[in-house]
Structure 1
């Protein structure tokens, strides 16, 4: 009987043809080598499956599950069911791992066996892989728990997470009722079993898109986040009059581009900041907020 690898990399993939080759290359380039890669092709209608099959022809660690589209919850649960390793690492088909990611996270988990999930800082990148900024979530268990109970679903970044298998099996895995916030739902249930952590170094380049769930499903996310946050606070015995205050929804693409422009200023990426400020202005030059953003960004990046 073949020995199981130490890490199973879980990747749901839906129409990621422009990115999946680089995403898998970043996994293959890990300094830690004892892993399997399980990609669920979730009913892609582009060339994702063909690209995966081409990679699998020379990568024996890659296992492809291809079936009709069910969404990310079903895809991740299918991948977990097909996995064999004692540790699971999440990844998305359009993100990029730093070469030392698995080595760093596995060493931390082995040194801290009580920890259920460990994430890391991440670099936000756009569809072209241009860097926007580095995001640093809270790092120690207490700060993460406080953030989660305040409704902060970014207390860990989902595709940067690794943990022992029981973080998924003993919590019941991902729940369809909480799709769009399935990561926050998992964190809250895992936090009841043990501490969570983040490493203070960027181990993932996290690609964001204007058409991502975080932008298109913000209203639905807000309802579910509020429900989960309320239940988590009740479970923790908190009876105060906490008011859930989520980030407001973006009304249009220009609002997203303005946000990214300021992120890039924060990340000291001047050219990227100017590019998104111009993109916001061009999308609706008659709107005063776009003009103000452009002028302020141009001043800030001189």
Structure 2
């Protein structure tokens, strides 16, 4: 069927969708995603100790035939899987906004994110649902993550602040939520918030700033709940567009959260400059940043 509100998307749902959903997982796939990694990502969701009630996979434009056939077969064989076909590649933000709108009539409690090249640990959903159920004040819940290479060997761990106050304080300097690990209380979207549809990157950072300014509460699970692929090219320049968007997000956080200071402005400018530098310098700075975060955590 073609959604009447947005002809960009075609929904493929062979099985009826329950009228009430507790958990929804949204994932987007596009042409550069590798088949083997997509399959690992999908398996890690479907094999959860508490699988999502609905797993919506958006095919964002043309993809490899092997990927297309695999996902079509998956949708027929797995009752929880729904496919959404985007007529052209439009980016993660618009794809996830469509999923959010599409599932709204089914009154979900929690919206989970997943990326097509990552791997969730088997108890990720169970852990996050348990914490959200028992902490009604938390609206956005992320977690630490394992960084893995192309062969899935662990090469590092990424910890972020756990408590709301520390998360908000860090927003002017860094994105404090690992986007592929996030679970969001669906009432956030019912109250009108969405990813910025025109953003082709850093859409999560802008959303966190907007939600923080609106008074929503954040937290991170200390335990790593996802394996994040740190693939070749990870340390390359991020490109002018992405670097500038990150800079704008930091400025937005300073303005909306009353965090304007010489220190924060200097930090934002230094990071923008660093993003434009050669890969080996970015790699060195990345490891230094991780070491400083670990030292701060231990203190």
Common fold by TM > 0.5: yes
Provide the rounded CA distance (Å) in 2 between the counterparts of 1:115 and 1:194: 8
2:204 aligned residue (179, 183, 191): 183
Contact 2:25-2:52 at 8 Å conserved across structures: no
CA gap of 1:138–1:49, structure 2 versus 1, over 3 A, is same
> Does residue 206 in structure 1 map to residue 228 in structure 2?
yes
Q: Deviations over 1:93-132 (max 9, x none)?
A: 1111111101111111111112121000100112222221
Instruction: State the distance in 1 between where 2:75 and 2:220 align.
Output: 31
Structure-2 change in CA distance of 1:13 and 1:76 (3 Å): same
Partner of 2:25: 9
Q: Within the alignment, does 1:77 sit opposite 2:97 as a pair?
A: yes
Residue of structure 1 equivalent to 2:134: 111
Contact 1:171 1:186 in 2 (8 A): no
- 1:7–1:34: 8 Å Cα contact kept in structure 2? yes
Tell me the equivalent position of 2:124: 101
- Runs of 4 or more consecutive aligned structure 1 residues displaced over 4 Å after TM superposition: 250-260
What is the deviation of 1:211?
4.7
The answer for the alignment partner of 2:275 in structure 1 is 249
Contact 2:164 2:219 in 1 (8 A): yes
Q: Does the 8 Å contact 1:171/1:189 carry over to 2?
A: no
What SS does the aligned partner of 1:194 have?
coil
Q: Which ranges in structure 2 are unaligned for 5 or more consecutive residues?
A: 1-16, 292-299
Give deviations 1:120-154, integer Å, cap 9, x for gaps: 0100112222221111111111111111122x02x
Which sits farther off after the overlay, 122-131 or 162-171?
162-171
Deviations 1:167-187 (CA, angstroms, capped at 9, x unpaired): 334353111343311010111
- In 2: Cα distance, 1:234 partner to 1:258 partner: 30
The 5 A counterparts of 1:1-302 are 2-15=18-31, 16=33, 17-46=35-64, 47-67=66-86, 68-83=88-103, 84=106, 85-150=108-173, 152-153=174-175, 155-170=176-191, 172-191=193-212, 192-211=214-233, 215=236, 217-241=238-262, 242-243=264-265, 244=268, 245-246=270-271, 248-249=274-275, 251=277
Partners of 1:99 and 1:180 in 2: CA distance: 28
Mean Cα displacement is larger for which, 218-227 or 55-64? 218-227
Return the TM-score normalized by structure 2: 0.78
Name the structure 2 match of 1:298.
none
**Does the 8 Å CA contact 2:93/2:198 hold for their aligned counterparts?**
no
Cα distance change of structure 1 residues 126 and 61 upon mapping to structure 2, 3 Å threshold: same
SS in structure 2 of the partner of residue 119 of structure 1: strand
Contact kept? 1:9, 1:90, Cα under 8 Å: yes
How many residue pairs get aligned? The number is 261
CA RMSD of aligned residues (A): 2.6
Distance, in Å, in 2 between the alignment partners of 1:222 and 1:159 is 20
